[in-house]
Each structure stands twice: as C-alpha cells, then as structure tokens.
A and B are shown apart, each in its own frame.
Chain A
Amino acid sequence: MPGALRHLSYDFGGHTEQLLTIGEGNPRVLIVPPLFDEMNRMRRTLVLAMHGLAEREIGSALMDLPGANESLALLEDQSLENWRNAVGAAAATIDPDCIASIRGGCLIDDGGEALHRWRLSPAKGSSLLKTLLRTRIAGERENGRSVTAAELMAQAETGPIELAGNRLGPDMIAQLGAALPADLPAHEVKPGTGKGCINGSALWLRAEPGEDGAMAQAIAADIAALIA
C-alpha cells in the first residue's frame, strides 16, 4: 500500500489525541469515525479508504475521539457536545477541505468548519443508544438477571453506567437519546445500489471487525470526486 502512516495529533481537554494521517502534505480530509465499537468494526476499511485517497494524491487524517481508541482521556467524562468540540479542535489543527463522517460521527461533524461535508449512513443518536441498551440487557439476562431500559436510563441520570462495555456519563446518554445529524449541507451516501449509494456493506453491524476492500475504494472515489 502506498503511504506510510504519519502520526499527527491535536490537543483537546488537556490531552494530545491521535490524528492518524496517510498521504503527503497537509491532509485535505478530516475523517470523523463512527462512535463506540462501530469504530472498531469500520477502522480497517477506513484505513484502506485513506490509502485509496493517498493513491489519488489526497491526504487524510482519521481522528481519535477523546476517550476512544488510543485516547488516554476517560470515556465517562465525554458527551456528544464535548466530542463536537473535539472535532472543532481537530479541524482547526489541519484546516481540512472536507469533513467526512461515518454513522454516529455524523452527529458531531458540525463541530468543525470545512468547505465540503461528506456523510456515510448517518445514524440517529436514539438508535445507537437503543442498541447499547439492548446489549446490556441481553448480557444481564445471560447471567440470570433482568433489568429494563427504563431502570438503566434512571441510573444514568445520576452517574455513569456501563453499556456494551462502555462507561457512559449522564450527559452522553441524555444527548445520545436526542441527537440528530445537524441540518447542514452535506453529500450523503449509504452502502447499496442506486442513487445516493456506494458499493459496500453495513460493516458496523457485524459481530467483529472485518474488511470491505471494495467499499474502501468506493469511499475514496466518492470523497475524491466531491473535493475535486
């Protein structure tokens, strides 16, 4: 693959966070990843897409959200508002032409300024929250315990709760429940065939991380076409 990994970074909330960069020169695209473990499942494909962009002479940077991936910040201290501001800090650092977000990343991409905005399968916060709650409830059932979503949401009002292995604070949970992608001009696509679609699959739904090389190439081509 062309393009070695470059390790740029942005400062936010008292921590230095990773901006994984591929391609020479100042990256033109800031990638805002999916949230929570959807990022794990998409990461390989996003990195392949970044190599695809580098092949087209377009540098890109994939940001770590505070509390996620290699970040040393605590996840339970985060909220969507905080993450929005982190996107702003990352964008201010590299001044991209395009902010490209995926799934829950589309809920926070309005934190930064750029000429172009690209979105892949924007997710509603309430839908992400529902999935997290379901995972916790199913896990409890496995252990012979029963807990309801209402009980968990009540607990979440006064302190962090664990959902699908993620410790989430009250602000994060409240904001997730209400979050929608900001109503801003954006080029939006989803995997599939037909208008508004790119070649690919909903990798974020899989049980474990995988790779979709064709989707990676489709992502690269679509972003490149947008910012040409």
Chain B
Amino acid sequence: MRRFLSFDCAGDRLAATLDEADGTTGLLIVSGGNEIRAGGHANQSRLAAWAAAEGYPTLRYDRPGIGDSSGDNRGFTHNAEPQKAAFAAFHRACPQLTQIVGFGNCDAATSLLFNDVGFDRLVIANPWLIEPIEEAQTEDGAAMPSRAAIRARYIARLKNPVRLGRDILGGSIDLAKFARGIARLRADEPPSPLAARAAEALTATITPTTILIAQGDATALSFQAAWKSQAFQRARANHYVTRLEHATSSHSFSDDDAQSWLRDNLKRALYGV
C-alpha cells in the first residue's frame, strides 16, 4: 500500500510517500537537485514501488522548499535536519523497522555522506563534488563541465574517429571550445572543498557504503577523478567503502540495463544489513 504522510522539520511541514511492506529493513530514498520526491519521469516513485514489492518498506520525502513541502530551499548542503527528521518519521510510521538503508543520487549522494543520520548502510550514486565556483562560464553563459568530464569526453571522441570527423564537419564540435577545454586539462587542480570533505567522510566512515558509478555520466566522471587522486588514498583503503561501475551514460540509470544493475545493488545492500 502506498500512502502519504507529513512530518515536522524545524518548523516546516515536509511531505512524504510511504510504500508499505512487511520487512524489518527499510529504504529511505533521498532526492537530488531540486527534484520532487517522485523523481524525474517518476523514476523514484517506480523504484520505491519496486522495493516495497520486494518486501522493503520505502520512504521518500520532499526537502524544504521542494515539491509539496513547506519552507525554503536552501540547497543540498542543508539536508542534515530533513534527513534526520525523515529517518525518525520512517521509524514512527513503520515501528517494525530494525535497519534503514539510505539511497541517494548526485548531490543527495553527497549529502548522505556528509550527514551522520544513523543509517545502517548507504548506497550513493554518482556523488556530486562540483563546487559552484568551478562552473566556468562560456560567452554564451553555458557552464563548462569539470576537467575530468571534459577529458573523458575528448578521449572518447578521439577513439571514435568516424564520429569525430562527422561532428567536426557537422559543426557540433565548437573547435574554440575544444581548444579551451584542452588548455584547461593542463592546469593543475587541487581537490575542491567538496571533494576534500568527501574524502574525509569516506576515510572515516564505518557505515557500509556502496558507491555506484555510471561510467559515462559527467557528474560521476568528476567523482572518479577525485577518487583516483592522492586526497582519496585513505578513503580507497577503507574496507567499509565499495565502489562499483556500470557502462551507462545515464546519470539516473534510466536505461533498462542500468536500472537492473541499480536494483540488484540496492537489493544486495538491503539484504546485506
């Protein structure tokens, strides 16, 4: 059964959907960006229904200032209180729960990493480590992707000469942008504050954490670059942290294959606690 509930968070009233099930392990889905709790093209709504059908009660909520909730949107770095409130509301709504797994994509993944809410396990996908100041603007105002994303894209294009030729002749590669991108690759980049904070969190955590990566996604590429850097050396050695990759360019794992892979890994996490 799917039902709607609300809970208080620092004076705001947050809207949530509970998909009921008999199990004692629950799944709390945290939304990324400004997306409503149903997710882009209702993908999280479907994911929740699936998890509940597998026997895991599932809760999703709208952050303050998002969707049906009251309050002001202060961004993903202000998600500690709402996550804690959702966690508590989940226990109240499903008193049989003994364990809760947290799942989030993109900046929701990052916020789950930063907040000590009490989850028994985390599944975090394509964690967002891109600082607002890092988004260099082009003349037409479009933000440039991170160095790692640019590098991976160009390498992919260089490996596919047929496509490269077609793109250059067809005008879909802006050669000036291409050159600026290459120049940017040469510049040294220290870890961003977000990346440094993520490294610290992943080094210290004793919560079993699975990081899921969409290999072709720009956000994930940026994370991968950070992961491979010196700053993440101790994080890489943390046995509580597992990183898995899948060949998809879909940020939200929306192709059938990627969605299957995501669900398999969520089931493993839910079963594993």
Contact = CB atoms under 8 A, between A and B. Distances in A.
B41 A36 contact: yes
A106 B137 CA distance: 37
A37 interface: yes
Contacts of B226: none
A166 B216 contact: no
Contact of B34 (A5, A37, A71, A209): A209
Given A5-B13, A5-B68, A208-B34, A166 B4 contact: no
A193 B35 CA distance: 29
Given A7-B4, A209-B35, A43 B68 contact: yes
A209 B163 contact: no
A67 B156 CA distance: 37
A211 interface: yes
A69 interface: yes
B49 interface: yes
B265 interface: no
Nearest to B6: A5
B15 A209 contact: no
Interface string A132-162: 0000000001111000000000000000000
Contacts of A208: 33-35
Contacts of A224: none
Contact of B73 (A1, A142, A166, A211): A211
A13 interface: no
Classify chain B's interface size: 20 to 34
A113 to B, nearest CB: 27
Contacts of A165: 40-41, 43, 252, 254
Residue picked from A36, A71, A165, most chain B C-beta under 10 Å? A165
Given A143-B249, A165-B41, A40 B68 contact: no
B241 interface: no
B138 interface: no
A55 B103 CA distance: 37
Given A4-B6, A5-B13, A44 B41 contact: no
Contacts of A141: 172
The secondary structure that dominates the A interface is loop
B8 to A, nearest CB: 11
A67 to B, nearest CB: 8
A90 interface: no
A37 B41 CA distance: 6
B66 A209 contact: yes
Nearest to B73: A211
Contacts of A142: 249
B42 interface: yes
B70 A43 contact: no
A128 interface: no
Contact of B36 (A18, A67, A75, A209): A209
B177 interface: no
A196 interface: no
Given A43-B36, A142-B249, A209-B35, A68 B6 contact: no
26 contacts: A1-B70, A5-B68, A20-B68, A37-B41, A40-B38, A40-B40, A43-B36, A43-B67, A44-B34, A44-B65, A44-B66, A47-B68, A67-B42, A68-B38, A69-B36, A69-B45, A70-B4, A70-B17, A70-B38, A165-B254, A208-B34, A208-B35, A209-B33, A209-B35, A210-B34, A211-B65
Given A5-B15, A141-B172, 19 more contacts: A7-B3, A7-B4, A37-B40, A40-B36, A40-B38, A44-B34, A44-B66, A47-B68, A68-B42, A70-B45, A72-B49, A75-B41, A75-B42, A208-B33, A208-B34, A209-B67, A210-B34, A211-B65, A211-B73
